[in-house]
Each structure stands twice: as C-alpha cells, then as structure tokens.
Chains A and B, each alone.
Chain A
Amino acid sequence: MNTHHLLIQFVTWFVLCYFILLNGGYLLLNLLSLRTLHRKGQEDMLDDLPRAYSGLEPPVSILVPAYNEEATIAASVRSMLQLTYSEYEVVVVNDGSKDGTLDVLKREFGLLPFPEAYRRQIPAKEIRAIYRSTRFQNLRVIDKFNGGKADSLNAGINAARYPLFCGVDADSVLQRDSLERVTQPFLRDPTVVATGGTIRIANGCEVSGGFLTRVGLPRNPWALFQVVEYLRAFLFGRLGWSAVNGMLIISGAFGVFRKDAVVSVGGYRPDTIGEDMELIVRLHRLLRERRQPYRIEFVPDPVCWTEAPEDFKTLKNQRIRWQRGLAESLNANWGLMFSKNGGVPGWLAFPFMLLFEWLGPLVEVGGYLFMIVSFLLGAISWQAFSTFMFVAIGLGILLSASGLLLEEMSFHIYPHGKQLLALGVVVLVENLGYRQLNTWWRLVGLFRWAMQKEATWGTMARKGSFADKP
C-alpha cells in the first residue's frame, strides 16, 4: 500500500517537474534570443539606407528541387531571379517530375540543352540533361531521374558553381532582400558554415508574382494555431540556440551553406525523411570530431514564407513526418551526444532534443493520461490534478505569450491592432487542445519510427556505414 502511494507521488512529481523543465527550457531559449534581437534592432536602421555593393559579396548558387510543381514553378523561379544580390545563380533540379514542370520551364525561360561537364562530388541519381536559359544568364535547369529531395539537392550541389549554396523549396515565397539577409552572417564571421532563415506562415498573406505583397493573418483556425506555434517554438527558440552555437535544425525551406563543408561531410542523406535536420546534426558531429572551428547561425528576419497545412489530415501527416525525421536525425548521429569535443551541441542541444522533443511526446501524453486516469480512479486528489493542469497549461500560455512578445519587440509584422488581439486569443486557446493534439501526433510519429526501425534491422549495418562516412 505504501509503495503504491510512493509510486504515485513520484510519478506526479516527475510529470510536474518535466512540464516545468520543458517550458522553462524554451523560455530560457527565448530569453537568450533577446540579446541577438536587441542588437539586430539597432542595425535595422542601416537597412533603410541605399545599398552599395562592393562586388565582393560571396556569390551564391540557389538550388531549387522541384517535383510536380508545374502550377507554381514559373512564378517561383521568376521571383528568385529578382533577388537583390550582386552575384548568384539559380539551379532548378527537376526531380523526374511526372507532370509538365520541365515543359513549363523550357517555355517560360527559353531553355536549351547545354553540354556541361557534370562533376560527381556526391553520389546522386543519374542526370538526364542540363539546360541553360537563353533569357537569363544565371539560370540552369538539371533534369534527372527521381530520387527525392535530398538526392536532388546533392545533384544541385554537384552542379553548383559558387562556394555558397542556398537550398530552397520550390514553393517558398521569398523577399527581395532574403538572400542578402541570410548571407550576412557569412560576411561577419568567416567560420560560419551554415545559416538558416526564419520561416513564416504565408496563409492569409497576399502573394503575387512569387513575392509577398502584404502580410495578413489566416482565417483558417489550423493555420492560426500554427502562426502562434511557429512564434512559440520555431522562431525564437532557434535564435536562442543559435546564440550559443547549438542550433540543430535549419529548415529545408530556406538555408545557406558552405558548399565545401557540406561536401566534406558527405552531402545530404537520401534515405531519411528529415534530411535538413540530419545534415545539420551531422555537420555538428563531424566538424566537432575534426576540431574544426565553425558556427551555424540563425537569421531571425522574416525571409521565407510557406503555406501551412489548413486541414486536419495534412497537418497530422506533416507532424508525424517531422517527428520521424527528428528521430532519424538523432539516431543517425549518436556520436554527437556527450562526445569529447561536443560543446554546446553535444552536451546541451542534443540531450535537450532527445529528452524534450524525441522522448517528450511519450512523457507528455503519458503524463496527461496518468493524471486523468489517476484522478478518475481517485488515486490523486482534485488538488493535485488541478495543480497539474494549471501548471501545464499556464506555463504553455506563458511560453506562447513570450513568443508573441518577442515578435512584437522585433519585427511586428502584423500591422493592425485587431490582428494582435486575435493572436492573443489564439495564444490562450492554443494551449487548450492544439498543443496536446500535436503532442499526440508526435507520439504517433515516434511510434511509427520505432516500428520502422524494428522492421529494417537487416539494413541497419548499411545505414550505419553511411553515417560514419567522413
């Protein structure tokens, strides 16, 4: 009887502590990001001044993997050709599209086949042909057999001419100064190997000609929840990690990398779902192993906008996919955790991800279930249960509110007071079901990943050898 009592008490204590630590950790990250934001705010004034290029900015190759994007590819590529940057090229990689993507490109940009001596630095699927645009000097299109996004990026890296490359999604909506902003860290610090841009929600915004013309809030409730969620978890959290060089994810929708660094770690891994995160974690692991000084930074300016899922099913599948990607990325790079030269990534970021993101859904869902069941069975008092709910939801609201505060302090992109009010309401409501639903989906993702791992025991050896490749 006594041990039962103690056990329940222990679990309650554990669950409470976990929720406090989880939210506390994110709050701390948001606090860390304050300093960087403050600094940026002071430099914003310089942005307004007319730009003068010295012509010595590092040139960038923009890689655009495209699969079945015939409806939007022309506008997207056109907008990428209008970025304000002194020298860059656009390399569209047609990943064996089954629709008219290549035909649209050929027509809109006057493509002609080009005898290019293709360089195989990273293994990728066969190339069918390389085209060059007759209308735009800096546009090339690679047509290859289907291999997935990571494989397309590798092919793009092989064909890229410049020392920096920028991976974007075909449906990313950029701003004219996006490339300038996201390459700033490379200018400030020669050891930077990768930078990530902030992804914002394009739903509800006016987009025309591939560029964002007016910012607005979506009407769809799922999209609204995601706006606040992005502010809470993806924006300033990442900036906080970036401040201590512990950033483990750069979104595939917009990121700039040093080509030689990426080639030296083997390029993107084609057999994972979360290839964007896996590359960054691997960069941390291998560069730390080699004791090479490096930095991976995050640029908080709103530089890239994407359409968020607006219905239950798509959102669910996206989150399940993300969790599986996270699990695969962490699993492929165990060597980073607590490694000798691990630094912040190895000793703080990786364990944090492991505990609160990977294992998190299990503890959170378990915690909720435990509390509810125990209360219903009378094992814990109303006091204990209500305190738990109070803390879990209260801290969540605090976290969401802090995200909103940081956004207002820094970029305040939503101009109308009514929009702020709407976001305030969403901050409250988000924690009363949406966040918990998300946690459930992530648990499903974790479960599916674990199941898949079991099923592919035989291929584990092969996967392992790839991960160790220098």
Chain B
Amino acid sequence: MSAQPTVLVVEDDVHIAHVLTFMLERQGYLVTHVADGRAATAHVLGNPAPDLVLLDVMLPYVDGFEIVGLIRAQAGWQETPVIMLTAKNTERDTVRALDAGADDFIIKPFQPQELLARLRRFLKTAA
C-alpha cells in the first residue's frame, strides 16, 4: 500500500509550525497541523490516528503531557508513535515525556535533519 504517511503536528509557534510542515511535506508526508491543546484534544477525540504525532510540550490550554495521556487512552491511537519537542534546560520535561508515554523526544533548539531521521525510524517500523 503506497498511502502517504500521515503526520499530526501540534505546535503553537507559528514559524516552527511552518518549518515543520514544509519539511514534512517535502518528504512526502501528509501533514495535519493544530495550533493549541484544545484543538489537539478535539482532533484526537474525533479523528482516526495518523502514522505519527509530533507534539510540542508547551501548548496553550492543555499541555503536551496531558495530550500524550489522552492519546494513549484513545482507542486506535494507543500504538501511534509520539515524538515530543521539549525545551532545553528542563531535564524534568524529557523524563516526564518518556514517562507519560512518548516514544521519543527532541530537545529544542533542534536539528531539522535529525528530526527527520527520527521520524523516518518510527514511520518505517509502522509501515
């Protein structure tokens, strides 16, 4: 099946969101972008799971950790790989990310090529 891999990007920083969307679409992924925690919650509750979720930790209204918990509790989304974007200097966040159920984390400021490589790893295993 040569369906385009779908990626959900949850990021409130508009510039970074554009960069991520651009890069992912260039790789041939189908990108859905939501800009805050509430929109993300609504999306998770009402849509089928994508092939991967790229999730920022600091989000308005509902934070990234709660979203991960929601994803892991949602039918059909339990196996979806979740990569979290955490901020530097908060070592706590990376530990929390993994404890909450994320599969991997990337520390901001991040290297775009590295991000793509990690994504590819999860999308390959999913396929």
Q: How far is the CA of A126 from the CA of B61 in the complex (A)?
A: 35
Q: Are A54 and B60 in contact (CB under 8 A)?
A: no
**A82 within 8 A of partner (CB):** yes
Q: Are B90 and A53 in contact (CB under 8 A)?
A: yes
Nearest CB on B from A189, distance (A): 24
For A209, the chain B residues whose CB sits under 8 A away are 38, 61-62
Number of residues from B at the complex interface, CB < 8 A: 14
For B63, the chain A residues whose CB sits under 8 A away are 82
Cross-interface CB contact of B89 among A55, A84, A211, cutoff 8 Å: A55
**A52 within 8 A of partner (CB):** yes
Task: Give chain B interface residues in 34-93, CB to chain A under 8 Å.
Answer: 38, 58, 60-63, 87-90
Q: How far is the CA of A54 from the CA of B88 in the complex (A)?
A: 9
Nearest CB on B from A167, distance (A): 24
Q: How far is the CA of A55 from the CA of B90 in the complex (A)?
A: 8
For A55, the chain B residues whose CB sits under 8 A away are 89-90
Given contact pairs A50-B13, A209-B38, A176 touches B87 in the complex (Cβ within 8 A): no
Q: Are B90 and A50 in contact (CB under 8 A)?
A: no
Nearest CB on B from A303, distance (A): 15
Q: Are B58 and A54 in contact (CB under 8 A)?
A: no
Cross-interface CB contact of A84 among B13, B16, B58, cutoff 8 Å: B58
Q: Are A54 and B108 in contact (CB under 8 A)?
A: no
Q: Are B87 and A82 in contact (CB under 8 A)?
A: no
Q: How far is the CA of A50 from the CA of B88 in the complex (A)?
A: 11
Q: Are A211 and B108 in contact (CB under 8 A)?
A: no
For B108, the chain A residues whose CB sits under 8 A away are 50
Given contact pairs A82-B63, A176-B60, A211-B60, A54 touches B89 in the complex (Cβ within 8 A): yes
Task: Give chain A interface residues in 251-290, CB to chain B under 8 Å.
Answer: none
Identity of the chain A residue whose Cβ is nearest the Cβ of B108 in the assembled complex? A50
**A86 within 8 A of partner (CB):** yes
For A50, the chain B residues whose CB sits under 8 A away are 13, 16, 87, 108-109
Nearest CB on B from A181, distance (A): 16
Cross-interface CB contact of B87 among A53, A208, A211, cutoff 8 Å: A53
Nearest CB on A from B12, distance (A): 10
Nearest CB on A from B4, distance (A): 30
For A51, the chain B residues whose CB sits under 8 A away are 87
Chain B CB count within 10 A is highest, among A53, A82, A84, A211, for A82
Task: Give chain B interface residues in 1-30, CB to chain A under 8 Å.
Answer: 13, 16
For B62, the chain A residues whose CB sits under 8 A away are 82, 209
Q: How far is the CA of A84 from the CA of B13 in the complex (A)?
A: 14
Nearest CB on B from A369, distance (A): 53
Q: How far is the CA of A86 from the CA of B58 in the complex (A)?
A: 12
Given contact pairs A82-B63, A176-B60, A209-B38, A52 touches B13 in the complex (Cβ within 8 A): no
Q: How far is the CA of A51 from the CA of B90 in the complex (A)?
A: 12
Task: Give chain A interface residues in 32-79, CB to chain B under 8 Å.
Answer: 50-55
Q: Are B87 and A52 in contact (CB under 8 A)?
A: yes
Task: Give chain A interface residues in 187-233, CB to chain B under 8 Å.
Answer: 208-209, 211
For B61, the chain A residues whose CB sits under 8 A away are 82, 208-209, 211
Identity of the chain A residue whose Cβ is nearest the Cβ of B66 in the assembled complex? A82
Chain A CB count within 10 A is highest, among B16, B60, B90, B109, for B60
For B87, the chain A residues whose CB sits under 8 A away are 50-53
Q: Are A53 and B38 in contact (CB under 8 A)?
A: no
For A53, the chain B residues whose CB sits under 8 A away are 87, 89-90
Q: How far is the CA of A82 from the CA of B89 in the complex (A)?
A: 18
Identity of the chain A residue whose Cβ is nearest the Cβ of B90 in the assembled complex? A53
For A208, the chain B residues whose CB sits under 8 A away are 38, 61
Identity of the chain B residue whose Cβ is nearest the Cβ of A175 in the assembled complex? B60
Q: Are B60 and A52 in contact (CB under 8 A)?
A: no
Identity of the chain A residue whose Cβ is nearest the Cβ of B14 in the assembled complex? A48
Identity of the chain B residue whose Cβ is nearest the Cβ of A54 in the assembled complex? B89
Nearest CB on A from B86, distance (A): 12
For B58, the chain A residues whose CB sits under 8 A away are 84
A-B contacts, 15 listed (Cβ < 8 Å): A50-B13, A50-B108, A52-B88, A53-B89, A54-B89, A55-B89, A55-B90, A82-B61, A84-B58, A86-B90, A208-B38, A208-B61, A209-B61, A209-B62, A211-B60
Given contacts A82-B60, A86-B90, 20 further A-B contacts (CB under 8 A): A50-B16, A50-B87, A50-B108, A50-B109, A52-B87, A52-B88, A53-B87, A54-B89, A55-B89, A55-B90, A82-B61, A82-B62, A82-B63, A176-B60, A208-B38, A208-B61, A209-B38, A209-B61, A209-B62, A211-B61
